[in-house]
Structure 1
Amino acid sequence: MSPAAPRFTDRTLKFLRALTRNNNREWFKAHKDEYETHVRGPMLAIIERLAVDFPRVAPDLVASPRSLYRVYRDTRFSPDKTPYKTHVAASFSHQVLPKHESAGLYFHLASDQLWIGGGVYAPQTPQLHRIREHIVANLRSFRKLVESPAFRRIGGVTGTRLQRVPRGFPQDHEAAEYLKLKQYLVGEELDPQLATSPRFYGALVRRFTALTPFIQFLNTPLVAAARFTL
């Protein structure tokens, strides 16, 4: 008999709602055991199961305990000094690229939102240029990926964008709208109650499977450049 699919519980959402109302160190210290049991524990179980399934779902990506984001916020440069994140999140990056220098898969759960998606969030200028060049050189394949009905149902490619086509590409290039992007993201917002359902893990894996070709496309020029510099 296969093990039960991992998921969150109503206690997870209850804790996240309470943390939103009581985002201070005294409250969190008094309720840290609940965080470990109902938030961090279930997320680590999901990540552990993904590590088993990634060889067929997303073979280039890594799922490990390090995929889990810390609950503690970095408040050094933020006017918002609340110390804790009110969601639980995990990201899955490429096995040969630094965590924040590759396209990857991601999901988070807050008390009012479940979000599943992926892409490349903050590429450095050289990486962004390589992705744009890869799109130009493989535009038909890229369009087939991002303009398919299945991809658009998950949200379609989005991200902050420039007002003009970046330097080095014709302003009237047929891929102009894609070249203006400074991020290449896709994601779907879902009812947070799904995360407590026995259907959750299957829904997560189906979306990750659908997004993996897009992630692989974005990573192809980045991996090639990384291997060239080794």
Structure 2
Amino acid sequence: MQPWFREDALKFLRGLKRNNNREWFEARRAVYERELKLPMLALIERIMQGMEEYAPEHIRPAAKCMLRIYRDTRFSADKSPYKHHVAAWWTRSGLEKTSGGGYYLHIGHDELVIAAGVYMPQKEQLLAIRRHLLENHLEWKRLIEDKKLRRFMDLHDPMALTRPPKGFPADHPAISWICWRQWGVIAHLPAAEALKPALAANVTKYLRLTAPIVNFLNEPLTAALQKKKKPLFGLYAPVRTRMHSDDEHEL
């Protein structure tokens, strides 16, 4: 299967937006599988070949990267069952359950979206990233203001607080970034880009540019994971030492 899409894929998504109901979708499920799901899985696989160089910790089975087309309507007033796009999210190994920093791609009927960063992090992750910014704000400034990155990608909506979060100094050089509630960059391209055989190579150019900021944002999150694991080893180390000492005493 080719790792790009045909016009029929965009036609399906336009139709789905107008007819967002189970009857319409099920009558055309074969079209969805052929024109969207299979090419998307092939595209994910091709993109991950490049990730071996700049994001090896984000490589996973393609089926686990591709997001469901079904919407979660439990807490939404909009009960339409389907998204109007197909999408993929590459999370970092070890952060699958909490997301962390990753790479995002979606193909809709009207645009192709490429993004990277941390979106809507959990409370612990939010605090960890803010503390990381306190100590490493000069590095973050260099990464997020990189001219080449910003030539191709815009800042994603940071959902910034109107005042500093509790416990953080208002006069700190990084306070504007610390006030953010999510950190990322995004690019919106014409949907026609998804129809080109060079799609995977073009997406890779964008994602490769974002790798430094994704790595920066994941640093405190992966460090927290390691700290959680250490007590497990520490729990057994004294026991082994004590047993060794007792054995020597008996001898």
Task: Please give the per-residue CA displacement for 1:76-102, whole angstroms capped at 9, x wherever unaligned.
Answer: 221111111111010000011124431
Task: Please give the per-residue CA displacement for 1:151-170, whole angstroms capped at 9, x wherever unaligned.
Answer: 22211354101001111111
Aligned to 1:175: 174
Aligned to 1:23: 20
Aligned to 1:88: 86
How far apart are the structure 2 equivalents of 1:100 and 1:22?
33
Q: Flag the 1:157–1:109 CA change in 2: closer, same or farther, 3 A.
A: closer
How far apart are the structure 2 equivalents of 1:107 and 1:186?
12
Once the two structures are TM-superposed, the CA of residue 12 in structure 1 deviates from its matched residue by: 0.9
Aligned to 1:110: 108
Identity of aligned residues (%): 40
Aligned to 1:48: 45
Aligned to 1:194: 193
Contact 2:47 2:200 in 1 (8 A): no
Q: Flag the 1:96–1:219 CA change in 2: closer, same or farther, 3 A.
A: same
How far apart are the structure 2 equivalents of 1:189 and 1:169?
34
Aligned partner of 1:71 among 69, 77, 81: 69
How far apart are the structure 1 equivalents of 2:107 and 2:156?
21
Once the two structures are TM-superposed, the CA of residue 50 in structure 1 deviates from its matched residue by: 2.5
Aligned to 1:214: 213
Q: Tell me, what secondary structure is at the counterpart of 1:97?
A: coil
Contact 2:46 2:200 in 1 (8 A): no
Aligned to 2:7: 10
Aligned to 1:32: 29
How far apart are the structure 2 equivalents of 1:5 and 1:29?
24
| TM-score when normalising by structure 1 | 0.94
How far apart are the structure 1 equivalents of 2:137 and 2:97?
26
Q: Tell me, what secondary structure is at the counterpart of 1:187?
A: strand
Contact 2:2 2:42 in 1 (8 A): no
Aligned to 2:162: 163
Letter in 1 for 2:107: L
Q: Tell me, what secondary structure is at the counterpart of 1:207?
A: helix
How far apart are the structure 2 equivalents of 1:70 and 1:168?
39
Task: Please give the per-residue CA displacement for 1:189-222, whole angstroms capped at 9, x wherever unaligned.
Answer: 1101001112321110011100011000000000
How far apart are the structure 1 equivalents of 2:74 and 2:94?
30
In the alignment, structure 1 segments of 5+ residues that lack a partner are: none
Query: Is residue 122 of structure 1 aligned with residue 129 of structure 2?
Result: no
Letter in 1 for 2:85: H
Number of matched pairs:
227
Once the two structures are TM-superposed, the CA of residue 23 in structure 1 deviates from its matched residue by: 0.9
Letter in 2 for 1:29: E
Letter in 2 for 1:43: M
Q: Tell me, what secondary structure is at the counterpart of 1:85?
A: coil
How far apart are the structure 1 equivalents of 2:195 and 2:185?
23
Contact 1:57 1:205 in 2 (8 A): no
Contact 2:47 2:203 in 1 (8 A): no
Moved >4 Å (runs of 4+): none
Aligned partner of 1:133 among 111, 115, 131: 131
Contact 2:58 2:92 in 1 (8 A): yes
In the alignment, structure 2 segments of 5+ residues that lack a partner are: 230-251
Q: Tell me, what secondary structure is at the counterpart of 1:135?
A: helix
Please, what is the CA RMSD of the aligned residues?
Answer: 1.5
